[in-house]
Amino acid sequence: MQHFFKKSLGQHFLVNKSILKKIVSLDEIKNKIIFEIGPGQGALTKEILQNNPKRLILIEKDKNLKKYLFKLQEKFKDTISLIDDDVLKVNLKDFNYKKIKIMSNLPYNIASTLIIKLIKNYDIIESMVLMVQKEVAERLSARVSTSFYSRLSVLIQLHAEVEKVFDVKPDNFNPRPKVESTVIKIIPYRKRKIHYDKLDNVLKISFKQRRKTIKNNLKEFFIDSEKKLLKCGIDPNSRPQDLKPIDFVKLSRVLI
């Protein structure tokens, strides 16, 4: 059966079996609840099933891929659940699992947005093994004062440990993407006393214009922002990329 790939859904299917096996080997999934986002034609799905998960929930938006996934569901009906929906609209907590793991070759066009959504569920996610664009992996793991350091870096690093595991060349995919990919492993921290929405709001404003000083980015939105920056021990003339993650936590507590 031929599938016509959709650029609008960021579809680039990994076809190298040795890499698929390597991805699955990065986590212990036997008897675990696994979510796979964008399973496509089921290449990674088949490798996951070889490792005997307790339950495998597939979330796929592209209705044209059902024909591939239905066959797997019929064969593994006691293990697979197929969710026909946009993952950005799915609430993982609605499934009522106390602990889950996520394993996925993420659609390129929503990778950053989706990871931000997923990390909100850090209390139920044990781990995530994800394939993303190399640039996204760089931003997730970026350190202070580097060019890739961003809102995404801060949000993820305050809630989880991020490890870049290995890079994957474009010729391992169909269709071939224009950029390299990277497999990452994210392990959420068990407890975080951070108000996520307040923190994210401060980050959005702070990184809106990277070249501006933090003082100038914040003053339009918050009264006495310069005074509050000084209260947090932050130089008002520093740039947002020079602030440590903990600095943004402090700001989120005094600004909002």
Confidence label for 1 from pLDDT (cuts 50, 70 and 90)? very low
pLDDT attached to residue 214: 95
Q: Is residue 211 part of a domain?
A: yes
Residues 31 and 66 in one domain: yes
CATH number at residue 63: 3.40.50.150
Q: Does 146 fall in a domain?
A: yes
Residue 26 and residue 151 in one domain: yes
Residue 236 belongs to a domain with what CATH number?
1.10.8.100
- Which residue has 């392990």 as its token pair? 187
Question: What residues make up the domain containing 221?
Answer: 196-255
Query: Total structural domains in the chain?
Result: 2
* Cβ–Cβ < 8 Å for 45, 72: yes
Q: In what order do the strands lie in the sheet with 80-84?
A: 80-84, 55-60, 33-37, 100-105, 125-133, 181-188, 160-168
Residues 21 and 76 in one domain: yes
- For 178-220, write each residue's pLDDT tens digit: 899 999 999 999 877 788 999 999 999 999 898 899 999 998 8
Could you report the per-residue pLDDT of 88-131, keeping only the tens digit for each? Answer: 999 999 999 999 999 999 988 899 999 999 998 989 999 999 99
pLDDT score recorded for residue 177: 86
